[in-house]
Amino acid sequence: MALQEEENVARKKALEEKRRQIERLQTVKKLSVAKARLQVYEQEASSDEEIAELLHNRGVERHQSSGVKRSSHEHPPQADSATVLAEAIAESINVSRLPVPEPSVFTGDPLRYKDWKMSFQTLIGRKNIPVNERVYYLRKYVGGSARKAIESYFLLGTDAAYDSAWVILEERFGSSFVIAKAFKDKLASWPKIGPRDSVELRDFSDFLRGCQAAMSQIKGLDVLNTCDENQKLLTKLPDWLVASWNRKVIEIEETCNDFPTFSQFVEFITKEAKIACNPVTSLHALKSGDGEKIKTTKTRNVGAKVLVSNSEENPEQKGCIFCEKQNHDIQKCWKFNEKPVQERLRFIQTKRLCFGCLQPGHQSRNCKRRSLCETCKGKHLTCLHEDRERANRKEKGCEEYGKGVNVKTSENKKSKEKTEDNHNIEPSNEATSKFLADPTQPSDSTADITISRQNFEDAF
C-alpha cells in the first residue's frame, strides 16, 4: 500500500510538472504572438515616414518590403495557430457546459408537428446511428394518437419500417390541409374574451400572430382574409374592441375601397392587447393595484375578530381547475370548452362543482352566483347550452308520457284500494322517498302522493 501511495504521489508530481510546462509553453506562444504583432504595427507606422525615401530608391523599397514580408510571414502563422487552438479549446469547454438537447414528445397535435420533426431530425435522425437506435428514439419521443398510428412498425426495426413510419406521420399530422384545419378549429373553439380579460386578449393576439406566420407556408389559411372569417373572429372579442375594429374597417374601406386583410386585423389586435396589458397605465394594472390595497386594509381592520363561516360557503377558487392555469377560470378555458359536452359533465360531477357557477363547496340549488348562458340568457352555463336544450326536450317528453301513465295507474289503484282492507292502504313509498329527497322540484311523484292520499281518505 505504501508503495502504491508513493507511486501515486510521484505520478501526480509528474503530471503537475507537465501541466506547468504546458502553461509555460502557452505563455511563450502568447508572448511571441504579441511581439510579432508589435513588430508589424511598428513597421506599418514607420512605413509612412519612409515613403519619400522608398520612392527615390526602389531597390531599398524592395529590400524593406521583402523584410516586412519575411517578418510578417515568420510570426503570423504561429500566431494564427495559437489563436485557433485557443478558440477551439474555449468552444469545446462552452459546449460541454451546455445541457444535452432533447426533442419533446409528440402526442398528435398537428400545430406542433413541424417543430417536433425539425428537432428530432436535427438531434437524432441525421446522426450516424444504427436503425434500431433510431426506431427506439422514435418510439420514445412519440405518444398518444401519433404512437398508435405507427406502433406496428416498431416491431420490424428496419430502414423500410422507419421510413414508412415517417411517411404515415407526415400524412397524418404534417399535411398542409391538416395543419390549416387545426388552426381554424382552434380559432373556432376559442372562448369569448370578457371586457376586462386583458391577459386572454394577449393570448389570442399571440395565436393570431402564429396564424399569420403560418399563412406564408400554408395556403389553406388564406381563407382568413375573407370578411366571413373575420366576422367569426369578432364573436370572440369583447364589445368595445369590436366597435373599435368597426371604425378601423370603415377607415380602410374609405381609403383603399377594400376589406382589411388578416394581417391588418392581427396588427390591430396586437396593438390593442399591448395597450390593455400595459403594466403601468392600463385598467388592468390600476384595478390590480386597487385590489391589493383593499386586501391590505381588510387584513389590518380584522384584528382579533373571529368569523364563523358556513361549511358550504367556500371562497371562490382562483384559476382554472381543468388546465391549472391562473390567468382564467374554467368557464373561459378553451381546452375545457373544446371537449364534448358529456366529458364536461363528467368532469364537473367528478370534481363536485356547482352546475350554476362551476365552484366547489355547494350545490346549484344553494348557488348565489348563478351564471347566465351567453347564448340564450338562460339560467345555466354557456358550456352546457346544447346539452340543456336536448335535456329539456327529453324532460318535456318524459313528463307528458309520465302524466298519462300516472293517471292510469292512479285510477287502477283507486279501484283496487276500495276493495282492500283499510289496514293495507299505504302511500307510495317510492313517491314519498322522491318527495322527501327534493321537495322543491315539481315532478310526477307529487301527483302520485296526492292520488294515494285521496284513496286513503275514500277508504275511510
Which residues of the chain, if any, have pLDDT below 50?
Answer: 54-55, 60-61, 68-75, 294-299, 301-315, 387-389, 391, 405, 407-408, 416, 418-460
Cα 371 from Cα 272, distance rounded (Å): 28
Instruction: List, in sequence order, every residue forming a beta bridge with 106; answer none if it has no partner.
Output: 142
Q: Write out pLDDT tens, residues 167-207.
A: 999 999 999 999 999 999 999 999 999 988 889 999 999 99
Q: In sequence order, which residues have a C-beta less than 8 Å from that of residue 40 and are 6 or more positions away?
A: 71, 72, 75, 76
* Nearest to 427, CA basis, from 450, 443, 407: 450
Cα 316 from Cα 313, distance rounded (Å): 9
What does the pLDDT read at residue 274? 92
What does the pLDDT read at residue 213? 92
What does the pLDDT read at residue 18? 81
What does the pLDDT read at residue 362? 82
What does the pLDDT read at residue 25? 81
What does the pLDDT read at residue 342? 80
* Nearest to 106, CA basis, from 165, 32, 35: 165
Per-domain residue ranges of the chain: 18-41+67-84, 110-174, 179-289, 387-459
**Within 10 Å of residue 205's Cβ, how many Cβ atoms?**
21
Contact, 351 vs 322, CB < 8 A?
no
What does the pLDDT read at residue 289? 57
What does the pLDDT read at residue 288? 65
Cell of 253: 374601406
Residue with cell 369569448: 192
Alpha helices in 220-282 (DSSP H): 227-234, 239-256, 262-276
What does the pLDDT read at residue 19? 82
